[in-house]
Amino acid sequence: MKQVILISNGQLATSVVLVLIAGLVSAALRLGVLRSLAWGTLRTFLQLGLIGYALVHIFAIDHPLLVAGVVALMVSAGAHAAVGRMRHVPFRPYLVAAVSLGASTYLVGIFVCALLIGGDHWYTGRVAIPIAGMILGNTLNGVSLSLDRFFADVRARAPEIEQRLSLGYERWEAVRPQLRAALRAGMTPTLNALMIVGVVSLPGMMTGQILAGVDPLTAARYQIVVMMMVAASVTLGSLTLVLLSYRRCFTSDQALRPELLTRYEGEG
């Protein structure tokens, strides 16, 4: 096995030059993102540095309950991030987001760790936590897109949905086209990634392993597992979130809620 390529403190500091290029473009064109870029860069250094330090101690302790607790905190943080990205949803769906992300993370994560990657030590932090992070990072994008698209379409198609309800359709049947469109929206980034992986891009798992000295064929096997894992988790998470949320479109007498009969400002 080849020697791992290490990044020194000086090289890490030099990487900020890359962000400075983006900052200069922002300032020259007055894009208005310079402050966000600076704050995001600072948060990246702080958050990744702190999590790296924390994982050293978590891996040293390596108790299954501690690992499960860390994953639960990751799910909670992911639910908050997912809710913050939803613009058209008329309620704060933190609970359903947490349930959806938790279900997809634990079910898909346990399957992958126990049967495909981890072997006898699948529950250790070194295996479970990175896998959970990859699942959450991709799934929260899918669930955000799905729920946001669903409620935006319900608003846009409110007259059609009310017509179906007046004809005796059940709530599920009345919004079924919107549910399908929402799930497609949540799955689209993953489908695109499946189409271009290995041709246009070498994803993080494969790139990291190659830089760490792993044989490229072995790294490709791991990346294939990750892509299948992401496809399953995004689909499961998006489906769960939409199914848990669609009833919130209706009142107790199966009519559309009044707040869904008007569009947000800026919608076409």
Please write the tens of the pLDDT for every residue from 3-26.
667 888 899 899 999 999 999 998
**Cα–Cα distance between 92 and 70 in angstroms, integer?**
24
Summarize the confidence of residues 155-162 as an average pLDDT.
Answer: 87
**210-249, pLDDT tens digit by residue?**
888 888 899 899 899 999 999 999 999 999 988 988 888 8
Asked whether 99 and 147 are in contact (CB, 8 A), the reply is no
SS3 250: strand
**d(C-alpha 65, C-alpha 82), whole Å:** 25
Dihedral sign, Cα of residue 77, residue 78, residue 84, residue 88: negative
Confidence of residue 65 (pLDDT cuts 50, 70, 90): very high
Predicted local confidence at residue 151, as pLDDT: 87
**Contacts of range 219-222, beta carbons closer than 8 Å, 24 or more positions apart:** 222/117
268 pLDDT higher than 60: no
Q: Alpha-carbon distance 88 to 150, whole Å?
A: 9
Helix (H, G, I), strand (E, B) or coil at 166: helix
What pLDDT, on the 0 to 100 scale, is given for residue 44?
Answer: 93
Write out pLDDT tens, residues 94-135: 898 999 999 999 999 999 998 888 777 788 888 899 999 999
Give the range among 36-40, 81-85, 126-130 with minimum mean pLDDT: 81-85
**pLDDT reported for residue 266:** 44
Measuring CA to CA, which residue among 65, 16, 59, 68 is closest to residue 41? 16
List CB contacts of 20: < 8 A, sequence separation 6 or more: none
Instruction: List CB contacts of 48: < 8 A, sequence separation 6 or more.
Output: none
Dig out the tokens for 81 from the structure.
Answer: 């991030």
Mean pLDDT of the chain, nearest integer: 87
Q: How confident is the model over 170-181, as a mean pLDDT?
A: 90
Give the pLDDT score at 52. 92
pTM comes to: 0.82
- Residue 101 vs residue 168, higher pLDDT: 101
